[in-house]
Structure 1
Amino acid sequence: MSRSPVKLKVVDAHAHLEELEDLEAKLTKAFNLGVVAVVTAGSDLESSVFALEVGRRVERLGVKVYGAVGLHPWSLKELSPGGVEEVLRFVEAKAKEAVAVGEIGLDYWLPEARKEGAGRELQRKVFARQLRAAKDAGKPVVVHSRGAWRDCLDMVKEAGVEALFHWFSGPLDVLKDLLSCGYYVSATPAIDYSEEHINVVKHTPLTKLLVETDSPVKYKGKFNREAEPADVVEVVKMLASMKEVSVEEVAKLTSSNASSLYGIELA
């Protein structure tokens, strides 16, 4: 008598669902493949409001959607000083209602921040304030650290918060330090082709890994299209191959890590 296949329970630990077309259809597809929860991140005021509200709207679909609130460094150039302040006050007011503060951090690859100066100073000021909001609310942070890996780590350590360094592709010396601090990193579909990301994931134990899609980012490699939450199942399969363990083990560990970090219960 053949055994029926084990249904996976996978968590997409980081996505931007407000940017997805046909969201309900894509969430239904993901749920049918074993995605039981998605964390959708805020990057500005509109997406943060969405993140807090969308879970109730899609609850009937089966997949649980949890929201994070935050102001992304990419959003700063679009905002006036007053606009920045408005988002920061929202984050401070709503952090306790979210599962995390994010997506926040630093990006030194942006044109305005390639050299030390006002661009970097603004990013650090905004990041520091959101780290304080997370600390005050007792919430973890989801960190964007492109080109600013060491500075991000130092600021997170100083703030004393739990953290997910999402899609981390930085130097291994920084990875070693952030793992020694107990922080998490996440694997994305980029483990199919990005040498930097592959190297990070290979050097990170499964006990410190989450999986994510960062939907709707467009990936290269075998995906070659915009991501959706269902793709996190393929990330789990690629991780299992890389780590030489079962798909079920990867799904179990990464989902447990997400549950622990975000304080969410998985059915």
Structure 2
Amino acid sequence: MSNTFFDCHAHINSPSFSKENIEIIVNKAKEKNVKGIISVAETYEDCLDVLNVAKQYSKIILPGIGLHPIQPLVDENGQRLDKGGRSSTLDEVYPVLDLIKEHQKEIVCIGEVGLDYSPQFLKNVEEEKIIQKQIFEKQIELANELNIPLNVHSRSAGHYAIETLIEKNAKNVVLHAFDGKPGYAQKGLQAGFYFSIPPSIKRSPQKQKLVNILPLDRILLETDSPALSPEKNTINEPSNVIISCEEIARIKNISIEEVARITNENALKLFPKLKNII
């Protein structure tokens, strides 16, 4: 039997993918034996879009909804700009929490949520860090209450994200594209968290070092499409999830089949609703 894969973190509703192209992207993924794609959200509008896209492609796409710590900038007409961003505000999380409650039976995870301390996005640094943490904590609390896994973003804040998750007693967690130090990752492992690895591992010494210290039973595959592609300045797609698998196999000196099998088992443990589409 040929290898099958789950892409545990992607953005299928991204403006980088036109509505017409989604079908092409999904078909390419199917050709590469991708059996499930978890499409996550960043804004309230994303949440609505992700839910709709998952309904249209229910045999392969499952929705994750949540409020990202960074929100896109918009022009005077309310159109999303390609570049830049700002820290999320507390009033933005409440409609998302309501949406999560409303769609709790459909969603496979709460995500993408977390912390982002990238200096280019923060103006009132200490105040915005406090607000990001409050937003993150509210979503962790709801995940605990509803027993829904968390799909976590932690750019330039890996140590703080892991500390917050542990403080709030988060149980079912994947840290996506973790960019922190191996020592911080060890704390996440001790807490029982998973780590998902994107195709950018091919060009990232940091991700390669991370995979080297992670046990295979704590690794998932992801693409973060359209970002984190195997080559710089190219649009990533879920079909590239096989590249993550190949690189993990190379680094750990084991077969691609073994990586595919174990990461699939991990994905099904963390995201039981994936069983609905296989």
Question: TM-score scaled by structure 2?
Answer: 0.86
- 1:216 and 1:105 mapped to 2: Cα distance? 19
Residue of structure 2 equivalent to 1:201: 211
1:164 is aligned, of 167, 170, 174, to: 174
Question: Does 2:136 align with 1:127?
Answer: yes
Cα contact 1:218–1:224 (8 A) shared by 2: no
Question: Does 2:50 align with 1:54?
Answer: no
Question: Does 2:212 align with 1:216?
Answer: no
Residue of structure 1 equivalent to 2:120: 111
- Gap regions ≥5 residues in structure 1: 1-5
Please give the residue correspondences for 1:79-98 in structure 2 after superposition, counting only pairs within 5 Å.
Answer: 82-98=91-107
Residue of structure 2 equivalent to 1:227: 236
- 1:220 and 1:231 mapped to 2: Cα distance? 8
Cα contact 1:185–1:208 (8 A) shared by 2: yes
1:153-175 deviation line (CA, Å, top 9, x unaligned): 11111222210000012111111
Question: TM-score scaled by structure 1?
Answer: 0.89
Residue of structure 2 equivalent to 1:151: 160
Q: 1:251 Cα shift?
A: 0.9
1:172-215 deviation line (CA, Å, top 9, x unaligned): 11111111111000111121111111111111111100011000
2:7 is aligned, of 12, 15, 23, to: 12
Residue of structure 2 equivalent to 1:3: none
Residue of structure 2 equivalent to 1:248: 257
Q: 1:79 Cα shift?
A: 6.5
Cα contact 1:95–1:101 (8 A) shared by 2: no
1:224-248 deviation line (CA, Å, top 9, x unaligned): 5110010001221122111111111
CA 1:195–1:65 in 2, change beyond 3 Å: closer, same or farther?
Answer: same
Question: Does 2:62 align with 1:66?
Answer: yes
- 2:119 and 2:143 mapped to 1: Cα distance? 25
Paired residues, number = 258
AA partner of residue 175 (structure 1): A
Question: Does 2:177 align with 1:178?
Answer: no
Residue of structure 1 equivalent to 2:39: 40
- 1:7 and 1:47 mapped to 2: Cα distance? 34
Cα contact 1:96–1:137 (8 A) shared by 2: no
Q: 1:73 Cα shift?
A: 0.8
- 2:215 and 2:47 mapped to 1: Cα distance? 31
Residue of structure 2 equivalent to 1:188: 198
Q: 1:250 Cα shift?
A: 0.9
Q: 1:116 Cα shift?
A: 5.0
- 1:106 and 1:81 mapped to 2: Cα distance? 13
- 1:32 and 1:128 mapped to 2: Cα distance? 39
Cα contact 2:179–2:206 (8 A) shared by 1: yes
SS in 2 for 1:8: coil
Could you say what the CA RMSD is over the residues aligned between the two structures, in angstroms?
2.1
